């Protein structure tokens, strides 16, 4: 079955154009949504700070997973295999995670 391709025009504001660096993400979910908290963990910092929270349906989360996998494969085909650190930081205490961690709301 062929999927019809469509073009989507996207507008991006100046602030969003700059992007936000993240080296740490906490992913939690409920039956109706996935929550991705993108944060930065700096060496010597006592805690990570969340800079962006993205909420999506389970269907969109699964579509994101597939699209990300597809793009990683394309990247590796062009640039070579992505090397992970010997201790596999993707499963360690710092890096991208799926286990919920304690988060504190910002106090003004």
Dump pLDDT digits (tens) for 23-50. Answer: 889 999 999 999 999 999 888 889 989 9
**Is pLDDT larger for residue 4 or for residue 100?**
4
Contact 37/106 with Cβ under 8 angstroms?
A: no
Domain residue ranges in the chain: 21-91
d(CA 51, CA 106): 11
Per-residue pLDDT tens over the stretch 44-79: 889 989 999 999 999 999 999 999 999 999 999 999
Contact 26/40 with Cβ under 8 angstroms?
A: no
Taking every pair of Cα atoms in the chain, the longest distance, rounded to a whole number of angstroms, is 54
């Amino acid at each position: 079955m062929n999927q019809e391709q469509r073009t989507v025009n996207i507008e991006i504001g100046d602030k969003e154009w700059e992007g936000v660096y993240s080296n740490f993400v906490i992913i939690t979910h409920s039956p109706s949504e996935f929550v991705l908290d993108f944060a930065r963990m700096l060496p010597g910092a006592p805690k990570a700070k969340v800079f962006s929270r993205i909420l999506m349906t389970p269907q969109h989360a699964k579509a994101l997973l597939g699209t990300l996998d597809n793009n990683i494969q394309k990247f590796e085909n062009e640039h070579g295999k992505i090397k992970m650190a010997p201790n596999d930081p993707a499963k360690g205490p710092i890096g991208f995670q799926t286990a919920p961690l304690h988060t504190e709301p910002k106090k003004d």
